[in-house]
Structure formats: structure tokens, C-alpha cells
Amino acid sequence: MTFLKNQDDQRIRLTGPQKKAVKNILLLLLLLLLIGGAYDYRDDLSRLIGLLSAGSLDDVVTLIASFGLWGPVISILLMILQAFIAPIPSFLITAANGVIFGVLGGIMISWLGAMLGAAGTFYLARYLGLAFVRKIQKSGGLIKKVDEISGRYGTKVVLLARLLPFISFDFISYAAGLSNIKALHFFIATGLGMIPGTIAYVLLGNQILALSRYSVGITLLVLIATVVALIGAKLIKKFQLGKK
């Protein structure tokens, strides 16, 4: 018993900053591992991206459903992938989830996948910095958006951006990663802001099975996006007036 007690006393106890440093190193290694894995399978990845970028909802549904019980995992991985690769439309994956997994399952899987994708791009920017982000994110106004998110109303900026379908999801995640916003605040704003759009696309995908023509579905999609955009624009105007 004395020997065991002495062993316990000799254990290395990390301080708060040391624990944070170890956590950061592990996260960075995980990101590098993911990037290395993507490079090893770059040919297969290229074909997959081509399918998702140019394919239809039918193609995405067929792809995910072909994995059977692994379908939810594949869908989540695709949501993470699209967060890093802009040409892949996330709404197609979300709508496909509504077709395959139903409304509740589709919402849960899509939301979880999008959150993990947002976390990946957020931490990628936070740990690798501005020089790296500029190489993969060509959108203008990056520094301006970083300043906005770093300000007093940063959490609200992220929340409103998530509500607007025409604002790049990845752009906001990268900008937030470069800002001084707390990770918890970023995840809360992202998680809440994604809910309306996720529900809308999943419902559309779920109901499209009952539609005889996809043109009707596309019309509904445009209407939903318009309503969300109008609500978001109104909230932004109210927010801007509140800051004056």
C-alpha cells in the first residue's frame, strides 16, 4: 500500500496552462492527421467532390443510402468535408438526410455534422493563423469580419450570419477562428443560428419524396431561402441601429 501511495505522489500533475497547451497540441495533431489522410486518398476524394458538386439530390441520396447502417456516419463526414471544400453544397446533403433519415433523424445528423465542420474550420484558423486562412479562403472582407466578430457584439454577428443563407458558412467560421471570440460563444451562436435553415432543408428533402416534380421542390427552396434572408436582413438592420 505504501508503494502505491508513493507512486500516486510521483504522478505528474499539469497546471492549467500546461493542460491547455497539451489540448491544443492534440487538436493540431488531429487536424494534421485529417489533412494527411485526405492527401493519401486524394483521387477518391476528387471523384467524390465532383459527384457532390455537380450531382443532383438523387445522386447524394443514393451515395449516402448505399452505406446502409453506416449512412449517418458517412453523412456526418460529408458535412465535415463540405466545411473545408467550398464547391460542395451543404444544403444537398441536408436535404438528402431528410429523405433518408426522416425529419427528426435528418435534423440531428445534419446539425451534428455542420457543428463538427464549423469546429474544424474554427480551430484550423485559430491554430494555423491568418497566412494559412488566406491561402484557402479567397473571399474579400476577411479582416473586416474578423474585427466585427472581435468586437462587443461578436456573438450576435456570428448568430445573424448563420441565419442568412447567402453568407458563406466557412467564411464566418474562419473569421471567428481568427478573432478573439471565445470558442463557447462561437459554438452557441453557430448551434442556434443553424437550427432554422437545417429544419427547412431537412423538411424540404423529406417532403420532396411526395412531389412529382423537382421544380416544385426548387421553388419551395427559393421561397424558404428568401424568407430566411428577409428575416435576417431585418435583424441585421435592427442590430446596426442598436449599436448607434
**What is the full DSSP assignment across 47-76?**
HHHHHHHH--HHHHHHHHHTTGGGHHHHHH
- DSSP label of 138: -
pTM: 0.70
> Phi and psi of 201, rounded to 5°?
-70, -35
Task: Report the candidate in 167, 179, 164, 198 with the shortest Cα–Cα distance to residue 133.
Answer: 179
Exposure string over 195-210, b if 16+ CB within 10 A, otherwise e: ebbbbbbbbbbbbbee
Place of cell 443532383: 56
11-68 tens-digit pLDDT: 455 566 655 666 666 666 666 656 555 555 555 556 666 666 666 788 888 888 888 8
Whether residue 227 is predicted with pLDDT greater than 80 in this model: the reply is no
What are the residue boundaries of the structural domains of the chain, listed by start? Answer: 16-243
**Higher-confidence position of 20 and 187:** 187
Name residues whose C-beta falls within 8 Å of residue 243's C-beta, 6 or more positions apart in sequence.
153
Query: Nine-digit cell at 86?
Result: 467550398
Whether the per-residue pLDDT at 149 is higher than 80: the answer is yes
Whether residue 55 contacts residue 93, with contact meaning beta carbons closer than 8 Å, is answered with: no
Cβ–Cβ < 8 Å for 228, 200: yes
d(CA 145, CA 214): 37
Give the confidence band of 209 by pLDDT, cuts at 50, 70, 90: low
Tell which residue, 136, 179, 129, has the closest CA to residue 155.
179
